[in-house]
Amino acid sequence: MDFPPIRTLAAADLPACSDLAESRSWPREPRKWTLLHDVGRVFGVTAPDGDGLAAAAVLMRFGSVASISMVLVAARYERRGLGRAITAHALSAAGDRVVWLHASKFGLPLYESMGFVADGGCQGHLGTFADDGGPGARPATDFEEIVSLDETAHGVNRRPLLERLGAAYAVDGGFAFGTDIGHVTVIGPVVAESEEQARALIRGAARSAPGEVRVDPDFRFPALTAWVRERDLVPTAPAPRLVFGGRALPGDPRRRFAPFTRAA
Domains defined along the chain, listed by start: 7-96 (3.40.630.30), 124-238+250-258 (3.40.630.90)
Alpha carbon 178 to its chain's center: 14
CA 149 to chain centroid, in Å, comes to 18
- Name the burial class of residue 125, with classes exposed (0-12), middle (13-18) and buried (19+) by CB atoms within 10 angstroms of its CB: buried
For 188: left if phi > 0, alpha if psi spans -120 to 50, otherwise beta; the answer is left
Using DSSP's 3-state secondary structure scheme, residue 142 falls into: coil
Radius of gyration of the CA atoms of the chain, in A: 18
* Residue 53, pLDDT score: 98
**Following CA atoms 111, 114, 120, 121 in sequence, which dihedral angle do they give, to the nearest 10 degrees?**
-30
Q: DSSP string spanning 8-39? A: EPPGGGHHHHHHHHHHTT----HHHHHHHHHH
Task: Write out pLDDT tens, residues 217-242.
Answer: 999 999 999 999 999 999 999 999 99
The predicted-structure confidence for 126-158, as pLDDT tens digits, reads as follows: 999 999 999 999 999 999 999 999 999 999 999
Dihedral of alpha carbons 63, 258, 68, 115, sign: positive
Give me the chain's average pLDDT, please: 97
Q: How far is it, in rounded angstroms, from Cα 183 to Cα 128?
A: 12
Phi, psi dihedrals of residue 177, rounded to the nearest 5°: -110, 150
DSSP 49-87: TSSSEEEEEEEEEETTEEEEEEEEE-GGGTTSSHHHHHH
Distance CA 158, CA 155 (A): 9
Percent of the chain with pLDDT over 90: 97
**Among candidates 167, 223, 173, 166, which has minimal Cα distance to 199?**
223
CA distances from 4 to 28, 63, 130 (A): 24, 31, 48
Mean pLDDT, range 174-191, rounded to an integer: 97
**How many separate helices (H) and strands (E) can be counted in the chain?**
8, 13
Cα–Cα distances in angstroms (integers) from residue 28 to residues 19, 36, 258, in the given order: 7, 13, 22
How sure is the predictor about 263, in pLDDT bands with cuts at 50, 70 and 90?
Answer: confident
In this prediction, residue 2 carries a pLDDT of 86
3-class DSSP assignment, residue 250: coil
State the Cα torsion 114-116-118-119 to the nearest 10°: -170
How does pLDDT run across 48-107, given as a tens digit for each residue? 999 999 999 999 999 999 999 999 999 999 999 999 999 999 999 999 999 999 999 999
251-260 tens-digit pLDDT: 999 999 999 9
